[in-house]
Copies of this chain bind each other. A is one copy, B any other.
Amino acid sequence: MSTSEKSGYHHGDLRASLLSAAMRMLEDGEPFSLRALAREAGVSPTAPYRHFKDRDALESALAAQGLRDLKADLTDGRALPESAAELGEFAVAYVEFALRRPALFRVMFGNACDTGSEERVQAAAEIHDLLALAMTRVFPDVDADALASAGWALAHGMAYLYMDGKLQAQSVNEVGDRVRAAFAAILAARAD
C-alpha cells in the first residue's frame, strides 16, 4: 500500500523513494550520489538505473520538482504583484527560496538543461512566464521582454551572489531587506 511497504525483492516505489532521499540530502547539504540513494533505499547500487537512465535524468526530475516548488512559493498566498513594492517581495521570495534550498536551486538552474526532460522544460517555462507576467503587469509601458529579463536576472543574480558568499548578510531577514533595497535603488536611478 504505502510507499514504505517492502515485499523483499521488490521495493514497491523505488523511484519515489530515490527522489525523496535525494531531495532530503540536497536540503541537508550532503552531496548525493546514486549509490548513496540506493543505500538509503536499502537496494543494490545499480537498482536506480531501472528508473533513471543516468544521473542527469534523476537530476532533471529533481529540478522539475524544485521548479514547481518555487512556482508554488511565488504564487501561493500571494496575489500577482501590482506595484513595485510587491514586485520586490516577489524577488525576496525568489532569493529566499534559493537560500533555503541552495543545492536544489543549483540543480534547478545550474546546467544547460538540454530539453531532455519534458516535465522539466515545462516547469521552467512556467517560471519564466510567471516572472514575465509579473513584470509586465507592474510596468506595462516598458519593453516587456527586456524588463522581464532584467527583473529575473536581478533576483537570480542576488540569489547566486548570496549563495556563493560574494555578498554577505547576517540573517535571511537581512538578505530580504537588501533585495528590497536593491530593487528600490535601481528603480530610483534615472538614466538621463
19 pairs, A vs B, C-beta closer than 8 Å: A84-B192, A85-B191, A109-B164, A111-B164, A113-B164, A113-B165, A113-B166, A143-B184, A146-B184, A147-B189, A149-B161, A149-B178, A149-B182, A150-B186, A152-B157, A152-B161, A160-B160, A184-B191, A186-B186
Tell me how many residues of A have a C-beta within 8 Å of chain B: 47
- For residue A11, CB closer than 8 A to chain B, the reply is no
Residues in B with CB closer than 8 Å to A165 are 112-114
Smallest beta-carbon distance A120→chain B, Å: 12
Scoring A residues 155 to 186 as 1 if CB is less than 8 Å from chain B, else 0, what string do you get? 11111110011110000000000100111111
Does residue A142 face the partner (Cβ distance < 8 Å to B)? yes
Copies of this chain, tallied across the complex? 2
A182 touches B110 (CB 8 A): no
Whether the Cβ atoms of A128 and B166 lie closer than 8 Å is yes
Residues of A88-138 contacting chain B, CB below 8 A: 109-114, 124, 128
A84-B191, A187-B190, A191-B187 as given contacts; A153 in contact with B143, CB under 8 Å:
no
Selected from B109, B142, B160, B188, the residue in CB contact (under 8 A) with A156 is B160
A151 within 8 A of B: yes
Chain B: minimal CB distance from A125 (Å): 10
- Residues of chain B contacted by A189 (CB below 8 angstroms): 84, 139, 142, 147, 187
What residues of B have a CB within 8 angstroms of the CB of A191 in the complex? 84-85, 184, 187-188
Which residues from B are CB-within-8-Å of A161? 149, 152-153, 156
Q: A154 CA to B182 CA in the complex, in Å?
A: 10
